[in-house]
Amino acid sequence: MDFGRAFTFVREDERWTTKIGIGAAIMFLSFLLFGIPTILLIGYQLAVMRRVMEGKDLPLPEWDDWGKLFMDGLYLVIAIFVYTLPLWLLFCIGFGVSILPALGAGNEDVAAALGGVAALTWVVMMCLFFILAIGLALVVPGIYIQYIRTNEFASLFRIGEVFGIVRNNIGDILLTIVAVIGANLVIQMVSSILSWTCIIPIIIALAGPVWINISMGHLYGQIAAKSKMAAI
């Protein structure tokens, strides 16, 4: 895994400022339109992944085929939502048991017992929620890679194949997650240090996530390339 290149190759594109700028504009619109334009950024990330998987990370993809970028991003959003359904189920169960004490409002002993059951159930549900959330963070790269390898929406739900990608590349996926978290922390630190300039933190808040999104696409693309070579 070439982490250095993933976070620096962007500037080798002659039009990188324009392409990052378009992404930043989409980020700004996402704040105004309930995050919907973010779907385009996911589609763009997939386009970066495809280029890296094919061995040509430059130039950066153009912002031209908006329809494809949107549909690619939408497919990923739908798939990830489906994979998060167990998390939503756990949350609903935890929320549902929270009303148990109210059922025993007429009897203090019953209310206390139901309160204990509700508290214990909530703790168990939250522990399971946390475990599944970590698992989902590891599965998401597999979903991305599965899609650019097949370009089929239905393939995103061939769970065995997705989990196989994750299992075979778990080390690289963990390193990628750590690298992205680190990059986000650096951006936040720089933004905090330069907060006195007013305008720079705004630029960083809009362009920073786009840069990281592209870098993460490069890292996912590297994993996809390795998986492709291993499958030959």
**Residue 29: which residues within 8 A CB-CB, separation 6 or more?**
37
Kindly give the interhelix angle for 170-193 and 108-150, rounded to the nearest 10 degrees. 100
Average pLDDT (192-202) is 78
Question: How high is the mean pLDDT of the chain?
Answer: 86
DSSP state of 8: H
pLDDT above 60 (res 232)? no
Pick from 165, 143, 164, 163: nearest CA to 154:
143
Average pLDDT (47-75) is 92
Q: What is the pLDDT of residue 190?
A: 83
**Residue 67: which residues within 8 A CB-CB, separation 6 or more?**
none
Least confident of 9-23, 98-112, 217-231: 98-112
Q: How far is CA 44 from CA 48, 49, 137, 176, in A?
A: 6, 9, 20, 18
pLDDT above 80 (res 112)? no
Distance separating alpha carbons of residues 197 and 205, to the nearest angstrom: 13
Q: What is the pLDDT of residue 177?
A: 92
Q: What is the pLDDT of residue 106?
A: 60
Least confident of 91-95, 125-129, 212-216: 91-95
Could you report the per-residue pLDDT of 70-94, keeping only the tens digit for each?
A: 999 999 999 999 999 888 887 777 7
pLDDT above 90 (res 153)? yes
* 204 touches 172 (CB < 8 A): no
- The sign of the dihedral angle between the CA atoms of 45, 19, 8, 14 is positive
